[in-house]
Amino acid sequence: MSSELTLPPHDGASAVPMAVPFRAATLALKLALMPVLLAQARQVRATALKLPEAAGERHGVAGVGRVALRVLIVGDSSAAGVGVGTQDEAFAGQLAQALSERTGAAVGWQLVATSGHTARDAARALALATLAPADLLVTALGVNDVVGQTRAAQFLAALDEIHALAVTRAQVTHTWH
């Protein structure tokens, strides 16, 4: 994969490779904008509304009858239910309910999620959590990694660690990232 940025043809001319590699140009732009970005970041952090995570148990069953599918959800604020009142209204509860309706069977779920967590933080939390057996791992992560500029390789390594922990500690057989 080339690290040079190529401009599309202009007015019938052939494409011309840019002299400055893309990564260097990106770094230069970040450095030039740093004072503005830092000021904006401080203002956003000072004025942003901080919503609580959804109330309720971090595990449950949707549907009736014998549990036919067990789901382990690992994530950040989107999984933790920030912005809704209860876990039944949040991602885990809604996912379990939808799966139960779709399959006609009961779906058990367990949630390991905290607002602000990066994929690495989630892996640490998963390593410390008491886990029930699960068939399916679902992750809802990435926003905090993007904001914190986590390198793609580090993000993917953390997802691999989450998967490995779920397989060894909860006997997960399927993963949905």
Domain with 92 in it: what CATH number?
3.40.50.1110
Instruction: Tell me what pLDDT residue 45 has.
Output: 73
Q: What is the pLDDT of residues 5-42, one digit of tens each?
A: 555 555 555 554 554 577 788 788 888 888 887 788 78
Which residues, other chains included, contact 136 with Cβ-Cβ below 8 Å and sequence gap of 6+?
A: 69, 70, 71, 72, 172, 173, 174, 175, 176
81 plus 133 within the same structural domain: yes
C-beta of residue 56 within 8 angstroms of C-beta of residue 88: yes
83 plus 160 within the same structural domain: yes
For residue 71, the cross-strand partners are 109, 136
- Identify whether 53 is part of a domain: no
14 plus 69 within the same structural domain: no
- In this predicted structure, the answer to whether residue 106 has a pLDDT above a threshold of 60 is yes
Q: What is the pLDDT of residues 110-151, one digit of tens each?
A: 999 999 999 999 999 999 999 999 999 999 999 999 999 999
> What is each CA distance from 14 to 22, 77, 97, in whole angstroms?
19, 47, 55
Instruction: Tell me what pLDDT residue 34 has.
Output: 83
105 plus 146 within the same structural domain: yes
- ∠ CA 82-83-87, rounded to 5°: 65
- Identify whether 154 is part of a domain: yes
Q: What is the pLDDT of residues 33-80, one digit of tens each?
A: 888 877 887 887 777 778 999 999 999 999 999 999 999 999 999 999
- Identify whether 54 is part of a domain: no
Domain count, the chain: 2
121 plus 166 within the same structural domain: yes
73 plus 116 within the same structural domain: yes
Q: What is the pLDDT of residues 90-105, one digit of tens each?
A: 999 999 999 999 999 9
109 plus 24 within the same structural domain: no
- Identify whether 30 is part of a domain: yes
| Other beta carbons less than 10 A from residue 136's beta carbon | 20
128 plus 77 within the same structural domain: yes
Instruction: Tell me what pLDDT residue 8 has.
Output: 57
Closest to 79 (Cα-Cα) out of 67, 93, 69: 93
What is the DSSP secondary structure assignment for residue 108, as one 8-state letter?
A: E
Q: Is the pTM of this model over 0.85?
A: no
Structural domain span for residue 26: 4-47
73 plus 150 within the same structural domain: yes
